[in-house]
Structure 1
Amino acid sequence: MTIPANWTGILLAAGRGRRFDPLGDEDKLRQILPGGSSVACHSAAQLQAVLPDLCVVVRPDNQQLIRQLQQNDYPVLVCSQADDGMASSLTAALLQTKDSAGWIVALADMPFVQQTTIALVLQALRNGADIVVPVFEGRRGHPVGFSRRHLPELLCLTGDQGARQLLQKYPVLEVVVNDPGILQDIDEPADLQAYLHKT
């Protein structure tokens, strides 16, 4: 049996971000960061810099985000079941990229993750680990890496828990990183403003 050589980055960008804007008018993933990129595009750039094979999952009614991503040449996968929960978006991406050696799953609302962190997770997977998480100051964060060994169970996930249950069920290699970005997501406008004031 031939083992695939390529590893894929999956960026989950299909959530509605109700805590950022309950009315849904201001998508947090489309907010512009100081460098001129949107939150989602910056997250995609960080992931693609390490993993050229990239899949960005979006929901069908977020046409502005789809255009934003496509204008920057990021490969978009529209998931019609995205509102069923994070697992539906993840499953759609896995089915689209099921010939990969494994995956690094990142969240689009976490644009502050460093490329070096993603590279360390990838290296651990290449060295034989089946599940890899980065750790900063004793806390696990994102993105999370999976080898293809876990594909059958990943495809069975449901709801909004993502792959958390696999991290509880199987051995996990923790990679210590000097990267607070693995813990920093943009949930509310204050999270974005706090970052903008630092730059």
Structure 2
Amino acid sequence: MQTEGDPHHRAPTKLPNTGASVAIVILAAGKASRMGGGGKHKLLAEFDGLPLVRRSALTALGSDAASVVVVTGHRRRDIETALGGLALTLVDNPDYADGMASSLAAGLSSKHADGADGILVMLADMPGISTAHLDRLISAFGHAGGKAVVRAVSRAKPGNPVILPRSLHDSVRRLEGDVGARGIIAACDLPVLDVDIGDAAHLDVDTPDDLLAAGGAVKS
């Protein structure tokens, strides 16, 4: 985890945007184990009449990203149905029970993501993330020439989403277990650009109470 005092931490600059390409990988494979009994799935909960996973995908599709990939796993068929008709790529992760690392690797291995200069890792359970937030992150990545990590923060506290440049993709593929890329970011020698997007950077929904507090309606 980087802080304001880290030697390779930088604020976004005003350099020209190089147009570095970004693919968005949405992680939607998890078991939603904190939803309790009854088989309820947080990504199928509705926000403004839409399943959360579809809302997240539409947010990504409206951005400046070159492509959108959604990694599925738990209740794959239901998630795919919720995403029906959208211009995105679905990648099944049969090893989703092993944790987040396997979903990251599956997403990065998609041909629609592998050729991008950077991968924006987006969690499907963050209803506060907007297209404008994503575009700010993508713009910061372009201004850095595609050679920096870009992450969303709120009041200097790191959150999500995060853009990982191509030079880190092999390291991400080697991750194991229920971990994200935080350790890789901490160990890399690349600049880390923080973009403050407010409370949305930390707002995810793991429990029925979280969903209700964020304005969602638990469905199935």
**TM-score scaled by length of structure 1:** 0.88
Residues 193 and 135 of structure 1: CA distance in aligned 2, closer, same or farther (over 3 Å): same
Deviation at 1:176, TM superposition (A): 3.5
Q: Do residues 157 (structure 1) and 187 (structure 2) align?
A: no
Q: Which amino acid aligns with 1:14?
A: A
**Aligned counterparts of 2:178 and 2:197: Cα–Cα separation in 1:** 28
Count of matched residue pairs: 192
Deviation at 1:164, TM superposition (A): 1.4
Q: Do residues 70 (structure 1) and 84 (structure 2) align?
A: yes
Question: Given that residues 6 and 101 in structure 1 are in contact (C-alpha distance below 8 angstroms), is that contact kept between their aligned partners in structure 2?
Answer: yes
Identity of aligned residues (%): 26
Question: Given that residues 118 and 166 in structure 2 are in contact (C-alpha distance below 8 angstroms), is that contact kept between their aligned partners in structure 1?
Answer: yes
Moved more, 154-163 or 119-128: 119-128
Deviation at 1:22, TM superposition (A): 4.2
Aligned counterpart in structure 2 of residue 48 of structure 1, from 47, 58, 61: 61
Question: Given that residues 132 and 175 in structure 1 are in contact (C-alpha distance below 8 angstroms), is that contact kept between their aligned partners in structure 2?
Answer: yes
Gap regions ≥5 residues in structure 2: 1-18
The equivalences for 1:62-101 within 5 A come to 62-96=76-110, 97-101=113-117
- Residue equivalent to 1:6: 21
Residues 149 and 48 of structure 1: CA distance in aligned 2, closer, same or farther (over 3 Å): same
Q: Do residues 145 (structure 1) and 158 (structure 2) align?
A: no
Q: Which amino acid aligns with 1:137?
A: R
Aligned counterpart in structure 2 of residue 57 of structure 1, from 59, 71, 87: 71
Q: CA RMSD in A?
A: 1.9
Q: Do residues 120 (structure 1) and 136 (structure 2) align?
A: yes
Question: Given that residues 79 and 92 in structure 1 are in contact (C-alpha distance below 8 angstroms), is that contact kept between their aligned partners in structure 2?
Answer: yes
Gap regions ≥5 residues in structure 1: none
Asked which structure has the greater RCO (Cα within 8 Å, sep 6+), the reply is 2
Aligned counterpart in structure 2 of residue 17 of structure 1, from 27, 32, 48: 32
Q: Which amino acid aligns with 1:195?
A: A
**TM-score scaled by length of structure 2:** 0.80
Question: Given that residues 10 and 54 in structure 1 are in contact (C-alpha distance below 8 angstroms), is that contact kept between their aligned partners in structure 2?
Answer: yes
Residues 99 and 176 of structure 1: CA distance in aligned 2, closer, same or farther (over 3 Å): closer
Moved more, 8-17 or 73-82: 73-82
Residues 118 and 125 of structure 1: CA distance in aligned 2, closer, same or farther (over 3 Å): same
Q: Which runs of 4+ in 1 moved over 3 A?
A: 71-74
